[in-house]
Amino acid sequence: MNRMEMIKPENLVYTKPRLMNDNPMHYCPGCSHGVIHKLVAEVIDEMGLEEQTIGIAPVGCAVFAYNYIDIDWQEAAHGRAPALATAVKRLNPDKMVFTYQGDGDLAAIGTAETIHACNRGENIVIIFVNNAIYGMTGGQMAPTTLLNMKTATCPFGRNEQLNGYPLKIADLLAQLDGTCLVTRQTVHSAPAIKKAKRMLRRAFENSMAKKGTSVVEFVSTCVSGWKMTPEQANEWMMENMCEKYPLGELKDI
Amino acid sequence: MVEEVKLMKGNEAIAHAAIRYGADGYFGYPITPQSEIMETLMEEAPWETTGMVVLQAESEVAAINMVYGGAACGKRVMTSSSSPGISLKQEGISYMAGAELPALIVNVMRGGPGLGTIQPSQADYFQTVKGGGHGDYRLITLAPASVQEMADHVALGFDLAFKYNNPAMILADGVIGQMMEKVILPDFRPRKTEAEIRAEQPWATLGKPKGRKPNIITSLELDSHIMERNNLRFQEKYRKIEANEVLYEELLCADADYLIVAFGSAARICQKTVELARAEGIKVGLFRPITLWPFPSVALKKYAEKIKGILTVELNAGQMVEDIKLSVECKVPVHFFGRLGGIVPTPDEALKALKAML
């Protein structure tokens, strides 16, 4: 059998999610965003929520998330996505509403919006991509940047005296009565992706069941900001990021 | 049917009028002197009757972004605040102007700058009609001068916002918000159904039916050529608003030798000044802009050749006076009288200023 003979529907083992379009992605090769986008598109499609989902895009690398997944989107001001999502869900209680935010957006400029949306128990999903750096603006320090980690605005490494400590915001959100699920995942390997997708789907189910706010943190890589190859970045992430930000469920009720 | 006359504060009238208009949502944060708006809404609990959502946000910044989210769904949503809080909302207002979203914002002005005072002021005129937030945009601005207009401008503001897909502001002040007058509230209108919104606001993000392209609400465009075209489209819209939506009121202007130009509470005070001046034989009229943007420049310019002078009366250091001078192209002397920092002038003080320019 030659290669062309193998290409037929019954042999298909993997395909691009139906809701992902063909727009070329602006993400760097090796970036976690592409895989996370794919999971979001798959979960929406598999749950049959395409026609009732509204996504809220952040400011940061995922600012153009709306270019890749074919659903209705709103692009928020920096950090304000949970405020938008609050109104969208309250005004349309039967819709599926999620935000997609990076660490600067969610844990620095948008800390108040994040905490209060979670504390009100808004029936939304917050997807939190934590790569410990501001990717879009060129690799500056994020609230989640690890101690001693070098960035454009802490070129000698994050120093607690000068820059304070890395913010474990998901741990904080897990303390709030309004959250029903707070989980930390990665997408660095096939088993991790499978597990992450399961938790993402649970978050979406919680939202539709009006159980409160679900937060899915993805501990992620930034190959450009970290100045590493994708493989090095994954290894560095598992060794360093996951030590500070341990994987698993911080809350699941 | 006999009209039902009620006695209430301007702030309360806003709340009642919003419910009756069929507003879908209000998102606010307490600040004096406008807190009665959210208090009245919470008391009325419209979520049990019309289905209107009322939510106390964690900040003015969150509240205006909730309005952005709701407006992006094609819903009739609003917020209210007072000067320091309105400063915080400028980011959201600019984003809504950039994303061409309709919404109603109420500013019950107090004295500034900074935390300033809780007493009435009109010192946010520049902020409101000249920009406020970043970028080339305009905010439809209505200046009520009575409790009745507080109620009426809710519908007017929403209608204009939805006609042009642009935020609109009711620019009141502590006097209009806090004073009690009789008011006839508008009739109840049903809220728009989702099907109606999908038909009337085809851009609304309410979920993408199969076969339709995704709706994306954003003010972002990195291609400067496209961004310039977007800006030109906004400007074209603003010119259309300037041509079609100007509102003003004239009191005894026809035979006047002099005009007082004032808006909002200052105009109410100057009604009495006109009465006092006329009793002394001074032929003065009151010209009251109701829309501050678009400004009634054309109407005002017509008086430039006919009158001897204009007195502008404002509760600020002289802001609208610049637009008046531009309107009359300096063909007639324009004088200014104002009190600052929350002081409300008396009709006699304005009369004295008028006499000084005769």
Question: B266-294 pLDDT, tens per residue?
Answer: 999 999 999 999 999 999 999 999 999 99
Q: Which pLDDT band, with edges at 50, 70 and 90, does B4 fall under?
A: confident
Gap between the Cα atoms of A77 and B64, Å rounded? 11
The shortest CB-CB distance from B27 to any of A76, A87, A116 is to A87
Task: Determine the pLDDT at residue A3.
Answer: 83
Q: In this structure, which topology does domain B5-194 adopt according to CATH?
A: Rossmann fold (3.40.50)
pLDDT digits (tens, 9 = 90+) for B288-341: 999 999 999 999 999 998 999 999 999 999 999 999 999 999 899 999 999 999
Which residues are CB-contacts of A112 (< 8 A; sequence separation ≥ 6)? B58, B59, B61, B62
Chain A residues touching B95 at Cβ < 8 A: 77
Gap between the Cα atoms of A125 and A123, Å rounded? 7
Task: Determine the pLDDT at residue A12.
Answer: 87
Gap between the Cα atoms of A186 and A192, Å rounded? 6
Q: Which two tokens stand for residue B118?
A: 């809780």
Phi, psi of A74 (to 5 degrees): -120, 140
Chain A residues touching B215 at Cβ < 8 A: 72-73
- Domains in chain A: ranges and CATH: 25-252 (3.40.50.970)
Distances (CA, A) of B168 to A164, B41, B96: 42, 20, 10
Task: Determine the pLDDT at residue A42.
Answer: 98
Subunit contact B214:A70, Cβ cutoff 8 A: yes
Percent of chain B with pLDDT over 70: 99
Task: Determine the pLDDT at residue A4.
Answer: 84
Answer yes or no: is pLDDT of B2 > 90.
no
Q: Hey, CA dihedral for A25, A29, A33, A38, is it positive or negative?
A: positive
Chain A closest CA to B334's CA: distance in Å? 42
ipTM score assigned to the predicted complex? 0.96
pLDDT digits (tens, 9 = 90+) for B237-250: 999 999 999 999 99
Task: Determine the pLDDT at residue B341.
Answer: 94
Tally: H helices and E strands in chain A: 11, 9
**Entry pTM:** 0.97
Subunit contact B68:A84, Cβ cutoff 8 A: yes
Answer yes or no: is pLDDT of A1 > 80.
no
Residue B332, classed as helix, strand or coil, is coil
Q: Which two tokens stand for residue B4?
A: 């039902």
Gap between the Cα atoms of B162 and A244, Å rounded? 49
Q: Are B265 and B122 in contact (CB under 8 A)?
A: yes
Q: Which DSSP category does A210 fall into?
A: T
Q: How remote is the C-alpha of B354 from its chain's centroid?
A: 27
Amino acid at A104: G
- Edge-to-edge strands of the sheet including B216-217? A248-252, A179-185, A213-219, A125-130, A96-102, A53-57, A72-75, B216-217
Residue in A with minimal Cα distance to B222: A64
Task: For chain B, list residues whose CB is within 8 angstroms of any CB belonging to chain A.
Answer: 24-25, 27, 53, 55, 57-59, 61-63, 65-70, 72-73, 75, 77, 91-92, 95, 99, 194, 205-210, 213-220
Q: Which pLDDT band, with edges at 50, 70 and 90, does A24 fall under?
A: very high
Q: Work out the average pLDDT over B138-164.
A: 98
Chain B closest CA to A11's CA: distance in Å? 28
Task: Determine the pLDDT at residue B3.
Answer: 75
Domain at B248-356, CATH class? alpha beta
Answer yes or no: is pLDDT of B55 > 80.
yes
Answer yes or no: is pLDDT of B42 > 60.
yes
Question: Which of B49, B53, B138, B141 is closest to B96 using CA atoms?
Answer: B138
